[in-house]
Structure 1
Amino acid sequence: TGPLEGCKLIRKENSSYGFVDYFDRRSAALAILTLNGRHLFGQAIKVNWAYASGQREDTSGHFNIFVGDLSPEVTDATLFACLSVYPSCSDARVMWDQKTGRSRGFGFVSFRNQQDAQSAINDLTGKWLGSRQIRCNWAAKGAGANDDKQNTDAKSVVELTSGTSEDGQETINDDAPENNPQYTTVYVGNLAPEVTQLDLHRHFHALGAGVIEEVRVQRDKGFGFVRYS
Protein backbone atom coordinates (compact mmCIF):
# COMPACT_ATOMS: atom_id res chain seq x y z
CA THR A 1 0.00 0.00 0.00
CA GLY A 2 3.03 2.29 0.25
CA PRO A 3 6.65 2.58 1.45
CA LEU A 4 7.29 1.72 5.10
CA GLU A 5 9.28 3.87 7.49
CA GLY A 6 9.62 1.15 10.11
CA CYS A 7 7.87 -1.50 12.18
CA LYS A 8 7.98 -2.87 15.71
CA LEU A 9 6.75 -6.19 17.13
CA ILE A 10 5.82 -6.57 20.80
CA ARG A 11 5.72 -10.19 21.92
CA LYS A 12 3.48 -11.19 24.82
CA GLU A 13 2.88 -14.57 26.40
CA ASN A 14 -0.80 -14.71 25.45
CA SER A 15 -0.87 -12.45 22.42
CA SER A 16 1.51 -10.30 20.42
CA TYR A 17 0.95 -7.06 18.60
CA GLY A 18 2.94 -4.59 16.58
CA PHE A 19 3.13 -1.19 14.94
CA VAL A 20 3.90 -0.30 11.33
CA ASP A 21 4.91 3.24 10.37
CA TYR A 22 4.22 4.61 6.90
CA PHE A 23 5.72 7.74 5.40
CA ASP A 24 2.28 9.13 4.56
CA ARG A 25 -1.16 8.88 6.14
CA ARG A 26 -2.99 7.82 2.98
CA SER A 27 -0.85 4.70 2.65
CA ALA A 28 -1.63 3.85 6.27
CA ALA A 29 -5.36 4.30 5.65
CA LEU A 30 -5.21 2.00 2.62
CA ALA A 31 -3.33 -0.58 4.69
CA ILE A 32 -6.12 -0.59 7.27
CA LEU A 33 -8.79 -1.00 4.62
CA THR A 34 -7.01 -3.76 2.71
CA LEU A 35 -5.27 -5.73 5.46
CA ASN A 36 -7.70 -5.71 8.38
CA GLY A 37 -9.06 -9.24 8.72
CA ARG A 38 -6.43 -10.80 6.45
CA HIS A 39 -4.94 -14.08 7.64
CA LEU A 40 -1.32 -14.16 8.72
CA PHE A 41 0.01 -17.64 9.53
CA GLY A 42 -3.54 -18.93 9.74
CA GLN A 43 -4.87 -16.21 12.04
CA ALA A 44 -6.95 -13.15 11.16
CA ILE A 45 -5.15 -9.94 12.08
CA LYS A 46 -6.64 -6.68 13.36
CA VAL A 47 -5.33 -3.53 11.70
CA ASN A 48 -6.32 -0.04 12.81
CA TRP A 49 -4.92 3.36 13.72
CA ALA A 50 -2.49 3.61 16.61
CA TYR A 51 -1.78 6.92 18.27
CA ALA A 52 0.77 7.98 20.83
CA SER A 53 0.13 11.00 23.01
CA GLY A 54 0.88 14.17 21.03
CA GLN A 55 1.46 12.24 17.80
CA ARG A 56 -1.73 13.31 16.05
CA GLU A 57 -1.39 16.41 13.92
CA ASP A 58 -2.81 19.60 15.41
CA THR A 59 -5.71 20.53 13.13
CA SER A 60 -6.99 23.49 15.16
CA GLY A 61 -5.83 25.89 12.46
CA HIS A 62 -7.03 23.76 9.55
CA PHE A 63 -10.18 24.09 7.47
CA ASN A 64 -12.88 21.68 8.62
CA ILE A 65 -15.88 20.34 6.77
CA PHE A 66 -18.90 18.40 8.00
CA VAL A 67 -19.78 15.10 6.29
CA GLY A 68 -23.28 13.84 7.02
CA ASP A 69 -25.51 10.88 6.15
CA LEU A 70 -22.65 8.43 6.61
CA SER A 71 -23.60 4.77 6.35
CA PRO A 72 -22.89 2.60 9.42
CA GLU A 73 -19.94 0.79 7.87
CA VAL A 74 -17.91 3.96 7.22
CA THR A 75 -14.97 4.25 9.63
CA ASP A 76 -12.30 6.90 10.20
CA ALA A 77 -10.01 5.04 7.81
CA THR A 78 -12.69 4.78 5.10
CA LEU A 79 -13.54 8.47 5.36
CA PHE A 80 -9.90 9.52 5.28
CA ALA A 81 -9.04 7.23 2.37
CA CYS A 82 -11.87 8.73 0.31
CA LEU A 83 -11.05 12.36 1.15
CA SER A 84 -7.28 11.97 0.92
CA VAL A 85 -7.55 12.30 -2.85
CA TYR A 86 -7.29 15.98 -1.92
CA PRO A 87 -3.58 16.47 -1.08
CA SER A 88 -4.00 18.66 2.00
CA CYS A 89 -6.46 16.36 3.80
CA SER A 90 -4.99 16.01 7.29
CA ASP A 91 -7.55 14.14 9.38
CA ALA A 92 -10.95 12.45 9.25
CA ARG A 93 -13.08 11.37 12.18
CA VAL A 94 -16.42 9.64 12.34
CA MET A 95 -18.43 10.49 15.44
CA TRP A 96 -19.36 7.42 17.47
CA ASP A 97 -21.99 6.89 20.15
CA GLN A 98 -20.02 6.30 23.35
CA LYS A 99 -22.64 3.93 24.81
CA THR A 100 -23.48 1.74 21.81
CA GLY A 101 -20.26 2.01 19.82
CA ARG A 102 -22.31 2.73 16.69
CA SER A 103 -21.65 5.50 14.21
CA ARG A 104 -23.73 8.62 14.74
CA GLY A 105 -23.93 9.06 10.98
CA PHE A 106 -21.65 12.05 10.56
CA GLY A 107 -18.04 13.09 10.83
CA PHE A 108 -15.53 15.87 10.30
CA VAL A 109 -12.64 16.13 7.86
CA SER A 110 -9.75 18.61 8.14
CA PHE A 111 -7.72 20.18 5.34
CA ARG A 112 -4.58 22.29 5.45
CA ASN A 113 -5.69 24.12 2.32
CA GLN A 114 -9.01 25.97 2.08
CA GLN A 115 -9.42 25.32 -1.64
CA ASP A 116 -9.14 21.56 -1.13
CA ALA A 117 -11.85 21.76 1.53
CA GLN A 118 -14.11 23.74 -0.80
CA SER A 119 -13.43 21.32 -3.66
CA ALA A 120 -14.39 18.37 -1.44
CA ILE A 121 -17.68 20.07 -0.58
CA ASN A 122 -18.40 20.83 -4.23
CA ASP A 123 -17.31 17.43 -5.57
CA LEU A 124 -18.65 14.99 -3.00
CA THR A 125 -22.04 16.33 -1.93
CA GLY A 126 -24.60 13.84 -3.19
CA LYS A 127 -21.96 11.24 -4.06
CA TRP A 128 -22.18 7.68 -2.75
CA LEU A 129 -19.99 6.63 0.15
CA GLY A 130 -20.83 3.12 1.22
CA SER A 131 -24.57 2.57 1.02
CA ARG A 132 -25.64 6.22 1.26
CA GLN A 133 -25.29 9.53 -0.54
CA ILE A 134 -23.34 11.90 1.67
CA ARG A 135 -23.73 15.64 2.18
CA CYS A 136 -20.81 17.96 2.82
CA ASN A 137 -20.65 21.50 4.11
CA TRP A 138 -18.43 23.78 6.12
CA ALA A 139 -18.30 22.75 9.77
CA ALA A 140 -19.58 25.30 12.24
CA LYS A 141 -16.79 26.85 14.27
CA GLY A 142 -16.05 24.56 17.19
CA ALA A 143 -18.20 21.76 15.78
CA GLY A 144 -17.08 18.36 16.91
CA ALA A 145 -14.90 19.75 19.69
CA ASN A 146 -16.82 18.05 22.48
CA ASP A 147 -17.13 14.84 20.50
CA ASP A 148 -13.43 14.88 19.77
CA LYS A 149 -12.61 15.42 23.42
CA GLN A 150 -14.65 12.37 24.35
CA ASN A 151 -12.80 10.29 21.78
CA THR A 152 -9.28 11.37 22.80
CA ASP A 153 -7.31 9.33 25.29
CA ALA A 154 -5.47 11.72 27.61
CA LYS A 155 -3.11 9.04 28.89
CA SER A 156 0.49 9.10 27.68
CA VAL A 157 0.21 5.60 26.27
CA VAL A 158 -0.45 4.14 22.88
CA GLU A 159 -4.14 3.89 22.07
CA LEU A 160 -5.33 1.32 19.55
CA THR A 161 -8.66 2.41 18.14
CA SER A 162 -9.58 -1.13 17.17
CA GLY A 163 -10.44 -1.96 20.76
CA THR A 164 -7.04 -3.29 21.74
CA SER A 165 -5.50 -2.05 24.97
CA GLU A 166 -1.89 -1.01 25.36
CA ASP A 167 -0.95 -4.46 26.68
CA GLY A 168 -2.28 -6.09 23.53
CA GLN A 169 -5.38 -7.58 25.15
CA GLU A 170 -8.28 -7.34 22.74
CA THR A 171 -11.68 -6.06 23.80
CA ILE A 172 -14.39 -7.21 21.41
CA ASN A 173 -16.83 -4.61 20.09
CA ASP A 174 -19.78 -6.43 18.57
CA ASP A 175 -20.82 -3.26 16.71
CA ALA A 176 -17.50 -2.85 14.93
CA PRO A 177 -17.81 -3.39 11.15
CA GLU A 178 -15.79 -6.61 11.17
CA ASN A 179 -18.02 -8.11 13.89
CA ASN A 180 -21.47 -6.83 12.91
CA PRO A 181 -23.34 -8.76 10.18
CA GLN A 182 -25.33 -5.68 9.12
CA TYR A 183 -22.19 -4.17 7.57
CA THR A 184 -22.06 -5.65 4.08
CA THR A 185 -20.35 -2.93 2.05
CA VAL A 186 -16.60 -3.02 1.40
CA TYR A 187 -14.42 -0.14 0.25
CA VAL A 188 -12.00 -0.69 -2.64
CA GLY A 189 -9.27 1.93 -2.98
CA ASN A 190 -6.37 2.78 -5.26
CA LEU A 191 -8.28 1.83 -8.41
CA ALA A 192 -6.78 2.56 -11.81
CA PRO A 193 -8.74 5.17 -13.84
CA GLU A 194 -9.79 2.59 -16.43
CA VAL A 195 -11.50 0.28 -13.89
CA THR A 196 -15.27 0.14 -14.49
CA GLN A 197 -18.14 -1.10 -12.35
CA LEU A 198 -18.27 -4.22 -14.52
CA ASP A 199 -14.55 -4.88 -13.95
CA LEU A 200 -14.95 -4.56 -10.20
CA HIS A 201 -18.06 -6.77 -10.20
CA ARG A 202 -16.28 -9.50 -12.17
CA HIS A 203 -13.26 -9.45 -9.89
CA PHE A 204 -15.24 -9.72 -6.65
CA HIS A 205 -17.73 -12.20 -8.11
CA ALA A 206 -14.79 -14.48 -8.91
CA LEU A 207 -13.94 -14.60 -5.19
CA GLY A 208 -17.18 -16.46 -4.49
CA ALA A 209 -17.66 -14.59 -1.21
CA GLY A 210 -21.41 -14.12 -1.63
CA VAL A 211 -24.14 -12.47 -3.67
CA ILE A 212 -23.25 -8.96 -4.85
CA GLU A 213 -26.16 -6.52 -4.75
CA GLU A 214 -24.48 -3.36 -5.98
CA VAL A 215 -21.15 -2.03 -7.25
CA ARG A 216 -20.25 1.66 -7.46
CA VAL A 217 -17.03 3.15 -8.82
CA GLN A 218 -15.86 6.74 -8.47
CA ARG A 219 -13.47 6.62 -11.41
CA ASP A 220 -12.28 10.21 -11.06
CA LYS A 221 -11.40 9.61 -7.40
CA GLY A 222 -9.92 6.13 -7.72
CA PHE A 223 -12.15 4.20 -5.34
CA GLY A 224 -15.35 2.18 -5.26
CA PHE A 225 -17.70 0.11 -3.11
CA VAL A 226 -19.06 -3.41 -3.34
CA ARG A 227 -22.24 -4.19 -1.40
CA TYR A 228 -23.17 -7.78 -0.61
CA SER A 229 -26.62 -9.08 0.28
Structure 2
Amino acid sequence: MDNSSSGTSLYVGDLHPAVTDSVLFSTFADVGKVLSARVCRDVADQSSFGYGFVNFEDPRDAERAIEQLNYVDLMGRPMRIMWCSTDPSLRQSGKGNIFIKNLDKGITQWELHETLKKFGKILSC
Protein backbone atom coordinates (compact mmCIF):
# COMPACT_ATOMS: atom_id res chain seq x y z
CA MET A 1 0.00 0.00 0.00
CA ASP A 2 1.62 3.25 -1.16
CA ASN A 3 -0.25 5.89 0.80
CA SER A 4 -0.04 8.49 3.50
CA SER A 5 1.02 7.69 7.04
CA SER A 6 -2.57 7.28 8.17
CA GLY A 7 -3.67 5.48 5.00
CA THR A 8 -7.20 6.78 5.29
CA SER A 9 -7.30 9.76 2.90
CA LEU A 10 -8.22 9.45 -0.76
CA TYR A 11 -8.13 11.87 -3.69
CA VAL A 12 -11.12 11.45 -6.03
CA GLY A 13 -10.76 13.02 -9.47
CA ASP A 14 -12.69 13.44 -12.70
CA LEU A 15 -15.94 14.19 -10.86
CA HIS A 16 -19.02 15.40 -12.70
CA PRO A 17 -19.73 19.08 -11.87
CA ALA A 18 -23.05 18.11 -10.24
CA VAL A 19 -21.43 15.81 -7.64
CA THR A 20 -21.97 17.27 -4.16
CA ASP A 21 -20.32 16.54 -0.83
CA SER A 22 -23.31 14.40 0.18
CA VAL A 23 -23.26 12.40 -3.08
CA LEU A 24 -19.54 11.75 -2.63
CA PHE A 25 -20.08 10.79 1.02
CA SER A 26 -22.92 8.35 0.29
CA THR A 27 -21.05 6.76 -2.64
CA PHE A 28 -18.05 5.93 -0.46
CA ALA A 29 -20.10 5.09 2.65
CA ASP A 30 -21.15 1.88 0.88
CA VAL A 31 -17.54 0.70 1.33
CA GLY A 32 -16.92 1.65 4.96
CA LYS A 33 -17.21 4.35 7.62
CA VAL A 34 -16.51 7.72 6.01
CA LEU A 35 -15.39 10.51 8.34
CA SER A 36 -15.61 13.26 5.73
CA ALA A 37 -16.11 13.84 2.02
CA ARG A 38 -15.54 17.16 0.28
CA VAL A 39 -15.78 18.33 -3.32
CA CYS A 40 -13.33 21.18 -3.96
CA ARG A 41 -14.95 24.30 -5.37
CA ASP A 42 -14.02 27.71 -6.71
CA VAL A 43 -14.38 30.27 -3.91
CA ALA A 44 -15.83 32.92 -6.22
CA ASP A 45 -18.61 31.02 -7.99
CA GLN A 46 -18.75 27.68 -6.12
CA SER A 47 -18.24 25.72 -9.36
CA SER A 48 -16.68 22.29 -8.87
CA PHE A 49 -13.01 21.82 -9.67
CA GLY A 50 -13.88 18.20 -10.55
CA TYR A 51 -12.06 16.61 -7.65
CA GLY A 52 -12.48 16.02 -3.95
CA PHE A 53 -11.25 14.14 -0.90
CA VAL A 54 -12.71 11.30 1.13
CA ASN A 55 -11.42 10.32 4.58
CA PHE A 56 -12.17 6.92 6.09
CA GLU A 57 -11.93 5.81 9.69
CA ASP A 58 -10.23 2.52 8.79
CA PRO A 59 -7.32 2.23 6.29
CA ARG A 60 -8.70 -1.12 5.08
CA ASP A 61 -11.91 0.62 4.00
CA ALA A 62 -9.89 3.22 2.08
CA GLU A 63 -7.97 0.47 0.31
CA ARG A 64 -11.21 -1.35 -0.44
CA ALA A 65 -12.67 1.88 -1.87
CA ILE A 66 -9.81 2.12 -4.36
CA GLU A 67 -10.26 -1.53 -5.34
CA GLN A 68 -14.05 -1.32 -5.71
CA LEU A 69 -14.69 2.24 -6.92
CA ASN A 70 -11.69 3.30 -9.02
CA TYR A 71 -12.96 4.11 -12.53
CA VAL A 72 -16.57 3.36 -11.53
CA ASP A 73 -19.08 5.78 -13.08
CA LEU A 74 -20.58 8.42 -10.81
CA MET A 75 -23.14 10.59 -12.59
CA GLY A 76 -21.82 9.43 -15.95
CA ARG A 77 -18.10 9.92 -15.33
CA PRO A 78 -15.56 7.35 -14.13
CA MET A 79 -13.99 8.42 -10.83
CA ARG A 80 -10.20 8.31 -10.59
CA ILE A 81 -9.14 7.46 -7.04
CA MET A 82 -5.64 7.70 -5.57
CA TRP A 83 -4.05 7.82 -2.15
CA CYS A 84 -3.77 11.30 -0.70
CA SER A 85 -0.99 12.32 1.63
CA THR A 86 -1.29 15.14 4.13
CA ASP A 87 2.26 14.69 5.44
CA PRO A 88 3.90 18.17 5.28
CA SER A 89 7.39 16.65 4.86
CA LEU A 90 6.30 15.10 1.57
CA ARG A 91 5.38 18.54 0.24
CA GLN A 92 9.05 19.49 0.30
CA SER A 93 10.17 16.34 -1.49
CA GLY A 94 9.78 17.88 -4.94
CA LYS A 95 7.07 15.36 -5.81
CA GLY A 96 3.34 15.92 -5.72
CA ASN A 97 0.16 16.82 -7.48
CA ILE A 98 -0.47 19.90 -9.54
CA PHE A 99 -3.78 21.38 -10.55
CA ILE A 100 -4.07 23.21 -13.86
CA LYS A 101 -7.15 25.27 -14.59
CA ASN A 102 -8.46 27.52 -17.35
CA LEU A 103 -7.40 25.08 -20.07
CA ASP A 104 -9.07 25.29 -23.44
CA LYS A 105 -12.04 22.90 -23.52
CA GLY A 106 -10.57 21.24 -26.60
CA ILE A 107 -7.47 19.97 -24.76
CA THR A 108 -7.59 16.21 -24.28
CA GLN A 109 -6.04 14.24 -21.41
CA TRP A 110 -3.61 12.70 -23.88
CA GLU A 111 -2.48 16.13 -25.16
CA LEU A 112 -1.99 17.39 -21.62
CA HIS A 113 -0.04 14.25 -20.70
CA GLU A 114 2.19 14.59 -23.77
CA THR A 115 2.87 18.24 -22.98
CA LEU A 116 3.74 17.66 -19.34
CA LYS A 117 5.64 14.36 -19.46
CA LYS A 118 8.91 16.11 -20.29
CA PHE A 119 8.86 17.54 -16.74
CA GLY A 120 8.69 14.16 -15.01
CA LYS A 121 6.73 10.99 -14.44
CA ILE A 122 2.96 11.48 -14.64
CA LEU A 123 0.80 9.04 -12.73
CA SER A 124 -2.53 10.39 -13.88
CA CYS A 125 -3.66 13.19 -16.11
Do both share a fold (TM > 0.5)? Answer: yes
CA distance in 1, matches of 2:83, 2:32: 18
1:113 aligned partner: 58
Higher share of residues assigned strand: 1
Assess if the C-alpha contact under 8 Å between 2:7 and 2:83 holds in 1: no
State the SS of the aligned residue for 2:46: coil
1:67 aligned partner: 12
Q: What letter is aligned with 2:56?
A: F
Q: Which runs of 5+ in 2 are unaligned?
A: 1-5, 89-125
Query: Percent of aligned pairs with the same residue?
Result: 35
Correspondence 1:140 to 2:82 = no
2:67 aligned partner: 122
State the SS of the aligned residue for 2:51: strand
Report the CA distance shift for 1:112/1:62 in structure 2 as closer, same or farther (over 3 A): farther
Aligned CA RMSD, in angstroms, stands at: 1.7
Query: For 1:128-174, what per-residue CA distance to the aligned partner results, in whole angstroms no more than 9, with x for missing partners?
Result: 0012111101012259xxxxxxxxxxxxxxxxxxxxxxxxxxxxxxx
Greater Rg, structure 1 or structure 2? 1
CA distance in 2, matches of 1:126, 1:87: 18
CA distance in 2, matches of 1:142, 1:111: 16
Q: What letter is aligned with 1:123?
A: Q
TM-score, structure 2 normalization: 0.62
Aligned length: 83
Q: What letter is aligned with 1:73?
A: A
Q: CA deviation at 1:62?
A: 7.1
State the SS of the aligned residue for 2:86: coil
State the SS of the aligned residue for 2:44: coil
Correspondence 1:85 to 2:30 = yes
TM-score, structure 1 normalization: 0.34
1:131 aligned partner: 76
Higher share of residues assigned helix: 2
Q: Which runs of 5+ in 1 are unaligned?
A: 1-60, 144-229
Assess if the C-alpha contact under 8 Å between 1:62 and 1:110 holds in 2: no
Task: Indicate the structure whose relative CO is greater, using CA pairs within 8 Å and at least 6 residues apart.
Answer: 2
State the SS of the aligned residue for 2:68: helix
